[in-house]
Structure 1
Amino acid sequence: MLFKMHRRDFNAFNFSIVIEHRTKQASTTAPEAFGTSMAVTRYMVALLLSILAVCLIPADAKCPFNFGRARAEDDGEILQAEPRRMLMEFDAVAVNKLDIDAVKADLKALFVDSKDSWPADFGHYGPLMIRMAWHCAGTYRQSDGRGGCDGGRQRFDPERSWADNVNLDKARGLLWPIKQKYGNALTWGDLIILAGDAAIESMGGPILGFCAGRIDDADGTASLPLGPSLDQEMVAPCSVNGDCEAPLGASTMSLIYVNPEGPMAVPDPEKSAPQIREVFARMSMNDSETVALIGGGHAFGKVHGACPTGPGPSPAEQPWNPWPGTCGNGTMKGKGNNTFTSGFEGPWTTNPIRWDNEYFQNLLEYDWEVHIGPGGHHQWRPVKKNSSDPSEPVANIMMLTTDVALLKDPSYLELVKLFATNQTALDIAFSHAWYKLVTRDMGPHSRCLGDHVPPPQPFQAPLPPPPAKKPDYKAVTKAITKALRTASSALPGDTVGGKPYYGALFATLAWQCASNFRQTDYTGGCNGARIRFAPQKDWPQNVAMDRVLAVLAPIKASFPSLTYADLIVLAGSTALTDAKAHKIKFCGGRSDANPNETPFPFQPPRVFGNKLVQLKDNALVMGLTLREMVAQQARLRSPSQQRRLGYSGSWTENPSLLTNDYFKVLLNNDWVNTTSAAGQLEMKAVGKEGIYMMPTDLAVKWDPASAAIAQEFATDSTAFLAAFASGWNKLMVADRFKGPAGNECA
């Protein structure tokens, strides 16, 4: 599939005109071949409030994210900044014991048992299931790790009512008897992906394997930041619909990746190709993976646009009978040959339920002519090359602008030619790309369950096993403690009491190593110590961290079985304990990544112009509560490191004690914007010399919820130290997975 889904229809403006909008803009849905509880009640209340807010939306708004004003009912997580992802009960033992072959057998029997309530195209539900799996997994974006099928949130609003997901409620309905049969051993997230896998296999396609262990969400809250919502608008606004930029995954709202009709619905294949490359890169796919997925997915099924009048009301608008269809009459109205899903019509191949490379052969064999299909949108029909008779019959197939675009880009064209002539190359490329697509949000290989799990793949950032023999951590701690106040030629430390002090630098190194962890896709963290290598060591926030590591190098040399990852975390924890932090824990057993690892698996820290959003959304992505994140703002801060970062200084020249003084200084002073000699925006205490804070510090004071926590910490040192230890200890072991829900250090 070519399109990354976002929620255009959940703009309150669209509620009032959704049927007309879908009729005129049906190209905003994706081609199909690729595609309750108290939580539901809560969301439906939000929907009602959004509908009532329709009069507040500017009539000329060009992007669905241009809201007339902020609506509190749309606030999912960011404004509250609590990781409120509500999970269903997860039985790891049952999931691990699940007979996946038996489930596949049941699925494959279902695929060829066409139901009158929703007849199968070509007598096979496989293409529908592939589309469902693609649309569940295809929400993933590498910018912040959000999206993907872990959680199975396609079942809930907002995702279930996205225009991209028209008629996928029928697919999930078909799967319910199988879900019911296997109960908690088969989560919805796993079932949706396994249905896609089984569908590919049932039609002769290649599958690399299956990683079980998706934990179902109890509602759709975690999808709100994908947009459109106030949360999404703060993190990733779209100023021009059709040209949305990263970190958004799609170029056009509500689409899986790009508009199949062409940029801004203009059927221009040459301009479509760069958009395809850009948006597939946003989910970490290269050219080979992109072309294999497009052509492999389009080997199956068809798109549906039997008439121009649309699918009818969405589940949010009409939950009792969603997407009933408007094409045709009688008992087959809205289904079978009268189906409207995307507004395009037709198959890509002559046998849409058989795996082969005909899609690529068709692209090359014919010339392609644009026309308006029965759904009212631009699509392409085949014309025989060098034919003098325009009426000469050709295959009953079609292409989309985004398919024809593969012929207009030199790199894509070479891959089209390869896959058209080499079925084995296509099999290998597609199976690996599909597994990456549906597993990318699952994190490392150690989180996978079941007996169909393939070997670790590069996108899973595999690590070598840790040393069999652990070092004497007590002896290492003693050596670190000595290094805290011993001058090193590798890097000048801070000065406390006229003596060198490295504690704040050690704590900073550990924080910088671990704080790129993302609970959204279970990536990042200090396991592997990738902060040693480019590009992470060269991120602006990590300036001189390699030199801090060099201060610790003699300790590493003294303990051959000590990994850099353990050393970094233990150095930070030892520094904090020395600084009078309470109950700082350490759990050893990390390993070190290979220096030649490619591609680099992690993303740099996200920086926002709005520092309040930066504080809160980074906390959410890391999996910290707002209370824990506010406490981390007071971690040991090195004055010398602040100057290396380009700031004038710190809020204190004595970083050797972890106290609540940070909050007293923050709250008891007035601050004025200033710019350092190096050009960094910073905040200077009014009437005080040498006292500086960063804009992210002042965000704590500006935000009422954060300020309330800061006020508590300023008056209760015990509460601060407890919250600090909770957040620090959580983050330092967040990447130590033991299955989907376990932790090696628990």
Structure 2
Amino acid sequence: MDGNPDPLRTAKDVRETFKRMAMNDEETCALTAGGHTVGKCHGNGNAEDLSDAPEGGELEDQGFGWNNHKSRGIGANTVTSGLEGAWTTNPTQWDNGYFHLLLNYDWELKKSPAGAWQWEPINIKEEDMPVDAEDPSIRRNPIMTDADMAMKMDPEYRKISEKFYNNPEYFADVFARAWFKLTHRDLGPKSRYLGPDVPSEDLLWQDPIPTVDYTLSDSEISELKAKILATNLTVAELIATAWDSARTFRGSDNRGGANGGRIRLAPQKDWEGNEPARLQKVLNVLEGIQSGLAKKISLADLIVLGGTAAVEKAAKDGGVQITLPFTPGRGDATAEQTDIEGFEPLEPVHDAFRNYLKHDFKSKPEELMLDKAQLMGLTAAEMTVLLGGMRTLGVNYGGSKHGVFTDRVGTLSNDFFVHLVDMGYQWKPTGKNSYEIVERNTGNVRFTATRVDLVFGSSKPPEHCLLQRLF
């Protein structure tokens, strides 16, 4: 822990790190122990003799970093992490030796040859010592890191370690499943898997979604749009709900998004950014339409279709007749198919498109906007037109007027951009993340805005004028 051994504090960081990967304590312990059942650490030398990291190495290093040009630097003399030694008696085979050593011996702090802190056993039996990396006639002390000692000293990890030690088959199964999860989670839904080795079992972390067997004709789609628009729901309510349903999508691992309709389930239905009261109002109306249909249509499809119909209406109100493409086929996931804790990292704690910030973050709002847009897979042009369009549609969080540069709220128009670049206005800061648009000739306040609104017209590096760059 910052160079100072502290297994209990390390346990806290390990737990947090693996939680971000949606791993529970049992999976974390299995991955730690399983990963350390084979292999060794390398720190048998002077770390100061190593060359730069790969990106800082000389041309002749050809991408290999931390080379040792002063001594042999390989085999038993390798220095990488700085710790030196194997974790188990037989570091080239899968067994339960990790827990045997960890739990049956007392451990003390020592320094590796490279000067790193590591834990070594007290009075270890010779037969429990791993052999030297090159000379099998020599036996060496095994080692443990602070993370390993956390598996022994943290009360919860200790219980799991003892369970694994007493049941090696269970440990192997948990490790195999956790490893599969670790290496496949970024593939997204199981439907994206290819090849003959795809497991038949549906796993909760894969965010399973029931398949649907219906199709919709153009006339059926038009009829559904008419039904939705005939309700008491506003354009803003329909678009906000469709957007909130879709904005959880992450291109990094293909999680989230509108498919599954999980916005109607915990935890999403209770997220502050989804405005639970407004969300439930929309869901109730759409469920009413759904229950009256002769053909069973998923709520996930109805949510997206509602947003589509609302955008078309907003465009029509602005004098433009358009028909947006709509592809049905989304399923409705159940609560049993939803990992509540696993979805917590997808909560939108910032969303520039709806001018929403849950907290006062260290990063600037415009930086968070770029991060969100990249995660959703949006291009710069798509990010710009979506934000400007949504401002005029009036879908800001909580009905905020920041950035709503129009007198025709609810009508899809380019008013946001027209007023943003109008030289008849000047901008005056009123707080850390708030501004007023003031008429130059009268001094009257015309609109209010936030940083994510003004950034599109800024010439301040590194933003430069996004409008000029894009258009």
Place the TM-score, normalised by the shorter chain, in its bin: 0.7 to 0.9
Q: 1:592-607 to 2 correspondence within 5 Å?
A: 592-600=332-340, 601-602=342-343, 603-607=346-350
* Overall identity of the aligned pairs, in %: 35
In structure 1, the residue matched to 2:331 is 591
Does the 8 Å contact 1:477/1:571 carry over to 2? no
In structure 2, the residue matched to 1:706 is 466
In structure 2, the residue matched to 1:524 is 256
Q: 1:642 to 1:271 in 2, by over 3 A?
A: closer
Q: 1:634 to 1:313 in 2, by over 3 A?
A: closer
For residues 289 and 218 of structure 2, what CA distance do their matches in structure 1 show? 11
Instruction: Look up the equivalent residue of 1:614 and give its one-letter code.
Output: L
For residues 595 and 480 of structure 1, what CA distance do their matches in structure 2 show? 28
Q: 1:596 to 1:699 in 2, by over 3 A?
A: farther
Tell me which of 433, 436, 439 is aligned to 2:181: 436
* Residue 563 of structure 1 pairs with residue 298 of structure 2: yes
In structure 2, the residue matched to 1:342 is 81
Instruction: Look up the equivalent residue of 2:306 and give its one-letter code.
Output: A
Instruction: Look up the equivalent residue of 1:565 and give its one-letter code.
Output: A
For residues 414 and 395 of structure 2, what CA distance do their matches in structure 1 show? 21
* Residue 542 of structure 1 pairs with residue 302 of structure 2: no
Does the 8 Å contact 1:504/1:655 carry over to 2? no
* Residue 576 of structure 1 pairs with residue 336 of structure 2: no
For residues 643 and 284 of structure 1, what CA distance do their matches in structure 2 show? 28
TM-score for both structures, normalised by structure 2: 0.82
* Residue 352 of structure 1 pairs with residue 84 of structure 2: no
For residues 196 and 103 of structure 2, what CA distance do their matches in structure 1 show? 40
Tell me which of 29, 34, 38 is aligned to 1:296: 34
Deviation, structure 1 residue 598: 3.8
For residues 327 and 295 of structure 1, what CA distance do their matches in structure 2 show? 34
For residues 660 and 650 of structure 1, what CA distance do their matches in structure 2 show? 11
Q: 1:191-210 to 2 correspondence within 5 Å?
A: none
In structure 1, the residue matched to 2:138 is none
Does the 8 Å contact 2:227/2:289 carry over to 1? no
TM-score for both structures, normalised by structure 1: 0.53
Tell me which of 268, 291, 304 is aligned to 2:6: 268
Moved more, 567-576 or 578-587: 578-587
Q: 1:479 to 1:312 in 2, by over 3 A?
A: closer
In structure 2, the residue matched to 1:511 is 243
Does the 8 Å contact 1:476/1:555 carry over to 2? no
For residues 264 and 455 of structure 2, what CA distance do their matches in structure 1 show? 31
For residues 466 and 324 of structure 2, what CA distance do their matches in structure 1 show? 23
Deviation, structure 1 residue 423: 0.6
Q: 1:309-328 to 2 correspondence within 5 Å?
A: 309=47, 310-316=49-55, 317-321=57-61, 322-323=64-65, 325-326=67-68
Residue deviations 1:478-532 (CA, integer Å, cap 9, x gap): 343354354x3xxxx5xxxxxxxx2232122211111221111111110011111
SS in 2 for 1:579: helix
In structure 2, the residue matched to 1:614 is 368
Deviation, structure 1 residue 303: 0.8
SS in 2 for 1:696: helix
For residues 444 and 437 of structure 1, what CA distance do their matches in structure 2 show? 14
Listed as ranges, the gaps of 5+ residues in structure 2 are 130-140, 351-360
Q: 1:479 to 1:381 in 2, by over 3 A?
A: closer
Moved more, 353-362 or 639-648: 639-648
For residues 611 and 400 of structure 1, what CA distance do their matches in structure 2 show? 39
Does the 8 Å contact 2:392/2:412 carry over to 1? no
Tell me which of 122, 127, 138 is aligned to 1:383: 122
Does the 8 Å contact 2:308/2:324 carry over to 1? yes
In structure 2, the residue matched to 1:412 is 157
Q: 1:589-738 to 2 correspondence within 5 Å?
A: 589-600=329-340, 601-602=342-343, 603-607=346-350, 609-637=363-391, 642=396, 644-645=398-399, 650-652=404-406, 654-668=408-422, 669-674=425-430, 682-687=434-439, 691-702=447-458, 703-708=463-468, 712=471
Deviation, structure 1 residue 473: 5.6
In structure 2, the residue matched to 1:362 is 101
Does the 8 Å contact 2:392/2:416 carry over to 1? no
Shift >6 Å, 4+ stretches: 391-394
Instruction: Look up the equivalent residue of 2:416 and give its one-letter code.
Output: Y
In structure 2, the residue matched to 1:552 is 286
Q: 1:323 to 1:681 in 2, by over 3 A?
A: closer
Q: 1:482 to 1:449 in 2, by over 3 A?
A: closer
For residues 566 and 419 of structure 1, what CA distance do their matches in structure 2 show? 45
Q: 1:647 to 1:656 in 2, by over 3 A?
A: closer
SS in 2 for 1:605: coil
Deviation, structure 1 residue 463: 0.7
Deviation, structure 1 residue 363: 0.7
In structure 1, the residue matched to 2:358 is none
Q: 1:285 to 1:643 in 2, by over 3 A?
A: closer
Q: 1:425-464 to 2 correspondence within 5 Å?
A: 425-454=170-199, 455-464=201-210
For residues 686 and 534 of structure 1, what CA distance do their matches in structure 2 show? 43
SS in 2 for 1:451: coil
Instruction: Look up the equivalent residue of 2:205 and give its one-letter code.
Output: F
In structure 2, the residue matched to 1:282 is 20
Does the 8 Å contact 1:306/1:327 carry over to 2? no
For residues 482 and 639 of structure 1, what CA distance do their matches in structure 2 show? 21
In structure 2, the residue matched to 1:242 is none
SS in 2 for 1:617: helix
Q: 1:627 to 1:641 in 2, by over 3 A?
A: closer
Does the 8 Å contact 1:566/1:590 carry over to 2? yes
Q: 1:473 to 1:569 in 2, by over 3 A?
A: farther
Deviation, structure 1 residue 315: 3.0
For residues 378 and 27 of structure 2, what CA distance do their matches in structure 1 show? 34
Q: 1:427 to 1:402 in 2, by over 3 A?
A: same
Does the 8 Å contact 2:108/2:121 carry over to 1? yes
Instruction: Look up the equivalent residue of 1:341 and give its one-letter code.
Output: T
In structure 2, the residue matched to 1:146 is none
Deviation, structure 1 residue 684: 3.5
Does the 8 Å contact 2:242/2:304 carry over to 1? yes
Q: 1:50-129 to 2 correspondence within 5 Å?
A: none
For residues 293 and 477 of structure 1, what CA distance do their matches in structure 2 show? 52
Q: 1:545 to 1:696 in 2, by over 3 A?
A: farther
In structure 2, the residue matched to 1:465 is 211
Q: 1:648 to 1:440 in 2, by over 3 A?
A: closer
Deviation, structure 1 residue 327: 8.4
Does the 8 Å contact 1:636/1:655 carry over to 2? no
Deviation, structure 1 residue 614: 2.0
Q: 1:205-244 to 2 correspondence within 5 Å?
A: none
For residues 647 and 421 of structure 1, what CA distance do their matches in structure 2 show? 62
For residues 689 and 429 of structure 1, what CA distance do their matches in structure 2 show? 62
Larger Rg: 2
SS in 1 for 2:408: coil
Residue deviations 1:389-440 (CA, integer Å, cap 9, x gap): xx99963311112211221111000011011110111011100111111112
Work out which structure has the larger RCO, using CA pairs closer than 8 Å and 6 or more positions apart in sequence: 1
SS in 2 for 1:264: coil
For residues 98 and 179 of structure 2, what CA distance do their matches in structure 1 show? 17
Deviation, structure 1 residue 692: 3.7
For residues 589 and 643 of structure 1, what CA distance do their matches in structure 2 show? 29
